[in-house]
C-alpha cells in the first residue's frame, strides 16, 4: 500500500451540528458530496457516512424521475437542479412515490 494513502474513500466523517439525531440511512450533504449515515449520529456527535453505493432515499413526491437520470439533493431527491448533484436514479419513480433508489456521487 502507498505510504501516503489515507483511506479508500468509501466513507467520510459526518459531524452532526444540528440539535436532532441524524438517523441511519439519512442523506447528508457535505459540501458538494452526498453521504448516507451508516449509524444514528446523535446531536453534537461525529459518525461515518457512505459515499458510494445505491441507496433508497427520500424523493420529492411530485417529481417524475426516469431510471438513469441525474438527480439532485436539497432536502429530498429531485430531478430539477437544486442543492447538490446526488447521483443517478437507479429506477423509475413517478408522481406520488416518496422514495427512489439512487447510485450516489456518480
Domain holding 32, by residue range, is 11-50
| Band of residue 1 on the pLDDT scale cut at 50, 70, 90 | confident
Same domain, 63 and 94: yes
Position 6 in a domain: no
Grid coordinates 430539477 are at which residue?
80
C-alpha pair distances (Å), 96 with each of 13, 36, 65, 76: 33, 23, 11, 13
**Angle (nearest 5°) at CA 48 between 26 and 1:** 135
Residues 43-48: what's their mean pLDDT? Answer: 98
| pLDDT, tens digit, 9 for 90 and up, residues 96-106 | 999 999 999 99
Same domain, 41 and 29: yes
Same domain, 33 and 73: no
Q: Is the pLDDT of residue 91 over 90?
A: yes
Amino acid at each position: 500500500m502507498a505510504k501516503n494513502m489515507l483511506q479508500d474513500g468509501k466513507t467520510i466523517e459526518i459531524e452532526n451540528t444540528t440539535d436532532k439525531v441524524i438517523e441511519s440511512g439519512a442523506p447528508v450533504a457535505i459540501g458538494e458530496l452526498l453521504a448516507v449515515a451508516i449509524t444514528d449520529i446523535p446531536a453534537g456527535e461525529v459518525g461515518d457516512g457512505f459515499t458510494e453505493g445505491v441507496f433508497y432515499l427520500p424523493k420529492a413526491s411530485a417529481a417524475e424521475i426516469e431510471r438513469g437520470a441525474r438527480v439532485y439533493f436539497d432536502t429530498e431527491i429531485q430531478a430539477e437542479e437544486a442543492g447538490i448533484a446526488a447521483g443517478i436514479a437507479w429506477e423509475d419513480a413517478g408522481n406520488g412515490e416518496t422514495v427512489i433508489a439512487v447510485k450516489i456521487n456518480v
